[in-house]
Amino acid sequence: MVAVCYPFGTTYRMPLNEQPRREKEIKWAIRDFQAELARLQKEESILRFQPCRGDVELRRKEEALEGFKKRIKSVDEKIWELEKKLREITSEANLKANEFP
Residue 7 lies in a domain: no
pLDDT interval class at 19 (50, 70, 90): low
> What single-letter DSSP state applies at residue 16?
T
Q: Is pLDDT above 60 for 8?
A: no
> How far, in Å, CA of 36 to CA of 38, rounded?
5
Q: How many domains does the chain have?
A: 1
Residue 15 lies in a domain: no
Q: Between 44 and 96, whose confidence is greater?
A: 44
> How far, in Å, CA of 9 to CA of 90, rounded?
23
pTM score: 0.69
> How far, in Å, CA of 78 to CA of 99, rounded?
32
Domain extent, residue 26, equals 20-97
